[in-house]
Amino acid sequence: MSGAIRSRARWVAAAAVLASGCGLLAACGGSAASGADAQSITLYNGQHVQTADNLISAFEKKTGITVNVRSDDEDTLADQIVTEGSHSPADVFFTENSPPLESLQAKGLLSKVDSSTLGHVPAKFSSPQGDWVGVSARVSVLIYNPSLISASKLPTKVSQLADSQYKGKLALAPQETDFQPIVTAYLRAYGKAATQRWLKAIQGNASGHIYPDNETIADEVNRGAVAFGIVNQYYWYRMRAEIGASATHAEITHFAAGDPGYVVDVSGAGILKSSTHQAAAQKFLAFIVSKQGQEIIGDPSKSISYEYPIGSGVTTQAPETPFSQLQPYPITIAELGDGSTAIALMRQAGLL
Amino acid sequence: MTTSPTLIRPGSPPPAGPGTATRPAVRARRARLPMALTAAGLAVAAVLALPLVFLLIEAHGAGAATVGNLIFRRLTADLLWNTVRLTVVVTAACAVIGTATAWCVERTNLPGRRVWAVLVVVPLAIPDFVVSFGWASLWTWVHGFEGAVVVMTLAVYPLVYLPVAASLRAADPGQEEVARSLGVGRARTFLRITLGQARGAILGGCLLVALVLLAEYGAFEILGYQTFTTEIFTEFSVSFSVPAACALSLVLILLSLLVLGGEGMLRGKGRISRSGPLAARQMPPHRLGRATLPALAGFVALTVLALGVPVGSSIYWMVARSSHAILGVSLMSSALHTGLYAAAAGALDTVAALPIALLAIRHAGRLRYLLERSTYLVLAVPGVVTAFALSYFSERYGGGFLYQTAPLLVVCYAIMFFPLALVGVKASLARAPVSLDEIARSLGQRRLAVLWRVTLRLAGPGLVAAFCLVFLSVVTELTATLLLIPTGVQTLATQFWAYEQNLSYGQAAPFALVMIAVAAIPSYVLGRFFDRTAHS
């Protein structure tokens, strides 16, 4: 028995040593990253990590300013910034879509972007108040699997998604911020009552194929689990770049010109009012809309962003429909807003 | 219930989890309640209450109208149905699998028991999102309710296995012998005596499973299964409204109160009697005989499903998919940070669980019972809510103190997984009979010295087990980590997430594999611990 007690005592001693050692080391691990000085900024990144990484390393090389990055879902980051309030460690917030930035702007948490930076981007892609700048753009498309549905059977208008012939064939990711703009556009085009009916119908048609994100829609359509869905165009390009053309069975197509389902989404960046590194943060924004920054976004050999560059006259080098030839539904950033009306309607319809 | 110190009523709350049956019946006198212990217990409970306080503050801020609209809508009924049926089915499945495997490993002559003892614990170390991803990427039918049942059962059954194995190991074999000698059949002996002895441990394990299911997010997101927790995440992510998400989280708290109450009622009916662990002795294992092959086949199948599929699909993705490199921290660095955070949280929790467990076991009473039970609620709070709570209190009352530093992240983990440590610590303290303390004290030892030299030494291995359980859970944590991790640092889980979000499955896979490897060490320790106690 005494042997048993001794061996247990060793366990305790080992655990205690391990615990105290680890506690110490863990504390060290934290302090290493927290030394922020004037020559470093903290970026809250809601954009795809690849896109942000390529921009950041080029920016660091050019300016010598270090960028500390935190990546998370853009909406969670927006919530986090609100919760952090005046002590937010964030200097810059970079998002995939405009609604998170619009929501922070409405709460008065963003400071004005330098007018020279705003000047690099067409005014319609940035905050009307000048609180954030547009960085890149994407367009909504239908992604479909030709072995499950032929192109001629696809809807040409987003309103047709409600047709009963698409029951069980349609995939949606209503939680994604990419879907709300289409609902907002629909609302603007057809009014509230029609939007409510339409949402109810597509909720039924997409039953069983409601996915958490666009990557999943692209993947599921590609492997034939569902016939078609709505995503932004770059998910298809990114998937193809990742898995190769031979494994890519899905295709994409646009809605009819000017249809409310044909929407351009803008990615943007803003600076927090609470930031104590305003000058360095402004430099970062200026860089990502500069020719060099925009070329990183638009050139598949520099990043696999596959988004459309929209600043400094740079055009995409990817083999996709040129941005200037897109014929999207005419809706402004301000009209897209923070998406709260669309969310309320989607909730009523049971999509959220 | 009376608080009379001289009686143990059958209905008095017994300790949860492993070793329930080992509580010495000799506990006749309750020691005087020490002030320091009570203060420490209250302090721990207060820290654990932070997420709940945060929820109430935020829900209050949201206003009655918003909360009403969110809760009384069509979706709520679906969510409630989804959440409840999944919790019931998975908990039942885990109870069966966990108990059956524990009995085979502990009580039979199953070949390779020592190996199985480790292998059946490892699935706990695989992140839920890796498990679901593995299944969903291989088979389309793994989706919705059926998918969620399969994936979650395979991911969390070790939470039942561990306490039940410990309890079976420590249980008094004499009762089975008596029953058999009185002519009771094998099956009835198993049902009446063996399961009866493990009953507290089974219930304790089921409680953990049910609470963990309530808070689960990653797996259900991938499987497209909506529960209250996925809806809370949606609320966080689409509406830019923390208050609304918090209001919805209150429903989860209500559900977990129901689970706790239900477990308490079931447990209350049980009777526990046994001599102290010092009287424990080996009993000859049951001979499986012709059942050996089916039993082995069952273990192989379980290992293939729970371990083989996620590991296999990770390797498949690593080999089969080309990938576009994105910058990331090295495997080494993220493995190191993961290990450090997990170890620190495990140590913190094991220490913090001591006062609560000591109060619950040595000084049982209604208020202390409620204090102890209240600490379980936190397990059903989604990690992201706990992280937001700490962020809120740090900003509001601390001027951002410690925010996004390692210590606060470790505290967050410690809060989230405290009940896992508590179960282990309580069970192991129950093994250290209070009579030994009393002898030591009567010999003039001071109270703290007694705690250190007698109680903790006896409880030592169980404390290591508690540490390991928390360690495993921290290794796979993602959502709270993303909020609170020091900027620029990555854990294995966050780096896996970053790659997976970029469809870089090939790059994500090694992180999943290292995560499993890092967590396999404590799994091995857990398995060996139970093995050791048998042979020491």
Least confident of A109-123, B24-38, B185-199, B440-454: B24-38
Predicted local distance difference test score (pLDDT) of residue B329? 59
Mind listing the pLDDT tens digit for each residue in B23-60?
444 444 445 667 888 899 999 999 999 999 999 998 88
Least confident of A35-44, B97-106, B402-411: A35-44
Q: Which residues of A touch B388 (CB under 8 A)?
A: 79-80, 83
Which residue range(s) make up the domain with B346? Answer: 33-271+291-297+311-535
Is A3 domain-assigned?
no
Mean pLDDT of B468-490: 90
Is B10 domain-assigned?
no
Q: B221 vs A18: CB contact, 8 Å cut-off? A: no
Name residues whose C-beta falls within 8 Å of residue B106's C-beta, 6 or more positions apart in sequence.
B165, B168, B169, B530, B534
Predicted local distance difference test score (pLDDT) of residue A51? 84
Burial class (CB in 10 A: 0-12, 13-18, 19+), A64: exposed
Most confident segment among A290-294, B290-294, B441-445? A290-294
Burial code (b: 16+ CB inside 10 Å, e: under 16) for A69-84 equals bbbbbbbbbbbbbbbb
Which residue range(s) make up the domain with A225? Answer: 138-263+340-348
Predicted local distance difference test score (pLDDT) of residue B312? 86
Q: pLDDT class for B328, splitting at 50, 70, 90?
A: low
Please tell me the distance from the alpha carbon of residue B85 to that of residue B93, in angstroms, as a whole number: 12
Mean pLDDT of B347-369: 86
Mean pLDDT of B168-191: 77
Predicted local distance difference test score (pLDDT) of residue B323? 52
Predicted local distance difference test score (pLDDT) of residue B193? 79
Predicted local distance difference test score (pLDDT) of residue B1? 35
Is A184 domain-assigned?
yes
Low pLDDT (below 50) residues in chain A: 1-19, 22-37
Interface of B with A in 3-42 (CB under 8 A): none
Q: Is the pLDDT of residue B281 over 60?
A: no
Least confident of A165-169, B19-23, B421-425: B19-23
Is A101 domain-assigned?
yes
Predicted local distance difference test score (pLDDT) of residue A58? 95
Predicted local distance difference test score (pLDDT) of residue B89? 96
Look over chain B and give the mean of its residue pLDDT values, rounded to a whole number.
Answer: 80
Interface of A with B in 50-79 (CB under 8 A): 50, 53, 57, 68-73, 75-76, 78-79
Is B479 domain-assigned?
yes
Is B28 domain-assigned?
no
Same domain assignment for residues A161 and A244:
yes
Burial class (CB in 10 A: 0-12, 13-18, 19+), B39: exposed
DSSP code for B286? B
Q: Is the CB of residue B360 less than 8 Å from the CB of residue B372?
A: yes
Same domain assignment for residues A165 and A299:
no
Predicted local distance difference test score (pLDDT) of residue B431? 64
Closest residue by Cα to residue B371 from B355, B351, B387, B390: B355
Give the C-alpha distances (Å, rounded to integers) separating A83 from A253, B241, B392, B400: 40, 10, 6, 11
* A36 to chain B: closest CA residue: B487
Is B277 domain-assigned?
no
Predicted local distance difference test score (pLDDT) of residue A142? 97
Q: Does B240 touch chain A (CB under 8 A)?
A: yes
CATH of the domain at A160: 3.40.190.10
Q: Does B282 touch chain A (CB under 8 A)?
A: no
Give residue B536's Cα distance to chain centre: 27
Predicted local distance difference test score (pLDDT) of residue B283? 66
Q: B343 vs A26: CB contact, 8 Å cut-off? A: yes
Predicted local distance difference test score (pLDDT) of residue B503? 65
Q: A75 vs B501: CB contact, 8 Å cut-off? A: no
Higher-pLDDT residue of B531 and B159 is B159
Q: Is the CB of residue A323 less than 8 Å from the CB of residue A316?
A: yes
Same domain assignment for residues A45 and A118:
yes
Predicted local distance difference test score (pLDDT) of residue A266? 94
CATH of the domain at B54: 1.10.3720.10
Please tell me the distance from the alpha carbon of residue A34 to that of residue B403, in angstroms, as a whole number: 10
Work out how many domains chain A is built from and give that number: 2
Work out how many domains chain B is built from and give that number: 1
Mean pLDDT of B484-509: 82
Is A109 domain-assigned?
yes
Q: Is the CB of residue A97 less than 8 Å from the CB of residue A71?
A: no
Burial code (b: 16+ CB inside 10 Å, e: under 16) for A307-319 equals bbbbbeebebebe
Is A117 domain-assigned?
yes
Q: Does A239 touch chain B (CB under 8 A)?
A: yes
Own/partner long-range contacts of B83-87 (Cβ < 8 Å, ≥24 apart):
B83/B214, B83/B227, B83/B228, B83/B229, B83/B255, B84/B255, B85/B145, B86/B145, B86/B148, B86/B149, B86/B152, B86/B213, B86/B225, B86/B227, B87/B210, B87/B213, B87/B214, B87/B259
Q: B457 vs A9: CB contact, 8 Å cut-off? A: yes
CA distance B268 to chain A (A): 32
Is B6 domain-assigned?
no
The three-class DSSP label of residue B2 is coil
Q: Is the pLDDT of residue B22 over 70?
A: no
Q: pLDDT class for B465, splitting at 50, 70, 90?
A: confident
Percentage, residues of chain B above pLDDT 90: 25
Q: A80 vs B483: CB contact, 8 Å cut-off? A: yes
Q: Does B327 touch chain A (CB under 8 A)?
A: yes
Is A35 domain-assigned?
no
Please tell me the distance from the alpha carbon of residue B331 to that of residue B344, in angstroms, as a whole number: 20
Provide the residue count of chain A. 352
Same domain assignment for residues A309 and A282:
yes
Higher-pLDDT residue of B283 and B165 is B165
Mind listing the pLDDT tens digit for each residue in B116-136?
888 888 888 787 777 877 777
Q: What is this structure's pTM?
A: 0.82
Is A326 domain-assigned?
no
Tokens of A32: 């290493």
Is A13 domain-assigned?
no
Q: pLDDT class for B6, splitting at 50, 70, 90?
A: very low
Predicted local distance difference test score (pLDDT) of residue B34? 76
